A and B are shown apart, each in its own frame.
Chain A
Amino acid sequence: MVWYIVRRILQVIPVFFGATLLIYFMVFALPGDPIIALGGDRGLNPAVAAALRAEYNLDKPFIVQYLIFVGGLFVGDFGTSFSGQPVSDILAQTFPVTLRLALLAVTMEAVLGILIGLFSGLRKGKLFDSSALVVSLIFISVPIFVTAFVAQYIFGVKLGIARTTVGAGAPWEDLILPAVVLASVSFAYIVRLTRTSVIENLNEDFVRTATAKGLSRPRVIRVHILRNSMIPVVTYIGTDFGLLMVGATVTEGIFNVPGVGRTLYQAIIRSEGPTVVSFVTVMVIIYLVANLLVDVLYGFLDPRIRYAK
């Protein structure tokens, strides 16, 4: 197990440096300039632009910029946002909120998705199954910002049972609606994935054996079908953190959740290039770490993974 974890960490390191280097290279190589974009259509005074460029190290060669950034990471310095606040300070305030939102969303999508997918798979072709398939397709097709506005309109404006924007301190009850929206797309994928693997496992020899040796149906379902069907779902939840990051940016922006996503959202809207770059980098790091954690968890759940070459 220790070797498995060490190996996974060793695999992530080159990907981490490659990905961050790639982001910095893009910013450097692309025509256009995040500083000029700050001036909007009117443009910026050349002296101001030069001063800003020096402040964000944009006047230095890109490999130096990158080394400054990586060096900073090791001492907990993620750079400075456009408002002059250190990115690490903003992260300290916003990250716990995003973490709570993500936890809520992942729990909901996993629990509901697996349950509905399981029932769907067990009742293949029945009314419940067909409705679950149709509903999940709709959730997959409707972009997350549309889901967010529809939810805001129905639950916030029409029914008045939820607040359309999250209050100060982001209490749990205010986070429920944004979390439902954030969970919607992945929920639909998990339903479909669980259904598929339940249907496949139903015909497996080990299920027939379990039934033949006299286990009760609920026990066969719980121990033999459900557990094995969850293997692809756990993999999916790992890769899903990428979608979750993008979703969090949009949902937090729309519901005004004071998290990492809203900070990025506002930086995008105000076209603050350097802040956008540092926050996307932060999100990529979160994504990689989350993936690593899921992989380690996966190794605990499935011994075959642990010992595989």
Chain B
Amino acid sequence: MPSNAPLSPTHFVAPLDETPLVAVDKVQVAAKPSNLYLDAWRDMRRRPLFYVSGVIVLLVIVVALFPTLFTQLDPRACALSFSNQGPSAGHPLGYTKQGCDVYARIIFGTRTSLSVGIIVTLLVTVIGIIIGALSGYYGRWIDAVLSRIGDIFFAIPYILAAIVIMSVVAREARSILVLSLAIGIFAWPSTARVLRGQILSVKNSDFVMSAAALGVSHFRILLRHVLPNSIAPVIVITTIGLAGAIVAEATLSFLGIGLPPDVMSWGKDISQAQGDLRNNPMTLIYPSIALSVAVLSFILMGEVLRDALDPKARARR
């Protein structure tokens, strides 16, 4: 039927709207330019959870950087005469079995947890991005090889791998760095998989094709166009992964194979307090609370980021 044929009289045809079409089509010139990250930032600032988790994350960072701002006590100055004593003036959380100040040990243990978290996260993100980007963008045999390697690393749960590494490594070699390497070296496949999947869906976009048509090199396309447009889920998984690394450190320290004796750690304090669960449970509970709150804050931050960066997640709220 030709398009200018009269419509049947039984059909109702709405009259032209009062709004002229020109006004409908008008581009809002004054509107601020926006992109995924600006939108996300605006969305996050409207959410109370962002402020709650942000304040705790900031607090954890400040305590880790400047522990002496929060306590003047030496966490290593322990006296058995104070063993398992309750709270007193200047010692709000009481003493451990060895007579150390619980509060001071928690404050000084923060740095250990955060250091391991950051080193592991850096390692996992760098390896994950390189492997995920190469296999997602270049595909073919590069993808086949890298994905199989990822499968093998994924088959060994990273805490179990870290247990093997730390049980074999010489006692003198134990340190925050070695522990972080032991955790991170097996934790990267999830990051790589997430990025690979994201790149697969981005790399056929029109803007990638136009860049290629303009003669931009593949590596440059990957770096300037594909990666920035597929990195959002990696940011989310990295934040939540930082929480996972803190838990891994605490678990290994709890098992007694994490860190050298002079390094303070919440996991170690929890492990040492377990014998006194019946008569002095609070020496176990306080470091546990510190650990859980720190982990929770990073997980919350990851959730807020996910909701802000993923429009589908925004709709689910």
Residues of A within 8 A of B (CB): 14-16, 18-19, 22-23, 26-27, 30-34, 36-37, 40-41, 124-125, 137-138, 140-146, 149-150, 152-153, 157, 196, 199-200, 242-243, 245-246, 249-250, 254, 264-265, 268-269, 271, 273, 276-277, 280, 283-284, 287-288
Contact = CB atoms under 8 A, between A and B. Distances in A.
B168 A149 contact: no
B278 interface: yes
B257 interface: yes
Given A22-B156, A124-B316, A149-B270, 4 more contacts: A143-B250, A145-B270, A245-B160, A250-B251
Interface string B153-180: 1011101110111011111010000000
A254 B275 CA distance: 11
B256 interface: yes
Contact of B152 (A19, A33, A145): A19
B165 to A, nearest CB: 6
B284 interface: yes
Contact of B291 (A143, A246, A273, A287): A143
B255 interface: yes
B155 A284 contact: yes
Interface centre among B148, B270, B281 (most CB of A within 10 A): B281
B205 to A, nearest CB: 24
B157 A246 contact: yes
Interface centre among A140, A269, A283 (most CB of B within 10 A): A140
Ranked 5 nearest A-B pairs via Cβ: A32-B170, A242-B157, A18-B152, A141-B296, A19-B155
B60 interface: no
A37 B168 contact: yes
B157 A245 contact: yes
A144 B292 CA distance: 10
Given A14-B148, A34-B167, A280-B163, A143 B156 contact: no
Interface string B13-51: 000000000000000000000000000000000000000
7 contacts: A18-B152, A31-B169, A37-B170, A124-B316, A141-B243, A153-B277, A277-B168
B270 to A, nearest CB: 7
Contacts of B255: 250, 265, 268-269
A30 B292 contact: no
B169 A149 contact: no
Contacts of B170: 31-33, 36-37
A258 to B, nearest CB: 18
B159 to A, nearest CB: 5
B299 to A, nearest CB: 6
B299 A34 contact: no
B152 A32 contact: no
A31 B299 contact: no
A100 to B, nearest CB: 21
A271 B255 CA distance: 10
Given A18-B155, A34-B167, A200-B316, A142 B292 contact: yes
B300 A137 contact: yes
A197 to B, nearest CB: 10
A264 B164 CA distance: 11
A268 B156 CA distance: 17
B292 A152 contact: no
B168 A287 contact: no
Contacts of A277: 164, 167-168
Nearest to A198: B316
Interface centre among B277, B284, B303 (most CB of A within 10 A): B277
Contacts of B295: 141-143
Interface centre among B149, B152, B153, B285 (most CB of A within 10 A): B152
B164 A23 contact: yes
A33 B168 CA distance: 6
Interface string B287-310: 010011101100110010000000
Nearest to A12: B155
A51 B148 CA distance: 38
B163 A276 contact: yes
Contacts of A152: 277
Interface centre among B155, B159, B165 (most CB of A within 10 A): B155
Contacts of A138: 292, 296
A176 to B, nearest CB: 19
A211 to B, nearest CB: 20
A30 B168 contact: yes
Interface centre among B163, B173, B270 (most CB of A within 10 A): B163
B23 to A, nearest CB: 33
Contacts of A34: 167-168
A30 B174 CA distance: 12
A273 B148 contact: no
B188 interface: no
A143 to B, nearest CB: 5
B168 A26 contact: yes
Contact of B168 (A32, A125, A242): A32
Contact of B277 (A32, A157, A264): A157
Given A30-B165, A143-B295, A149 B155 contact: no
Interface string B248-286: 001100111100000000000010001001100100110
